[in-house]
Amino acid sequence: MMYLWIVLLALALFAIWYFLNSSNSNMSEEVDENPIDVLNRRLVNGEITEKEYEEKRKIISDN
């Protein structure tokens, strides 16, 4: 019976470790995007209008 608890604890720790590592890898992928890529993605997803897109693109390209 004690071995069952040890196995369950090991599985729980592995699941927590796996979840934390997969979350970190997803975050690092987004960090690699440049501002124009983010802007394009937001336009395609409908998060910003074309007018907002043009304004923000101009600001980005001026820098």
Instruction: Name the pLDDT band for 27 (thresholds 50, 70, 90).
Output: low
Q: For 33-53, what is each residue's pLDDT tens digit?
A: 899 999 999 999 999 999 999
| Cα distance between residue 46 and residue 63, in whole Å | 25
Is the distance from CB of 9 to CB of 17 less than 8 angstroms?
A: no
Domain boundaries, the chain: 1-31, 33-63
Q: For position 40, what pLDDT does the model report? A: 94
What mean pLDDT is predicted for residues 18-32?
68
Q: For position 30, what pLDDT does the model report? A: 54
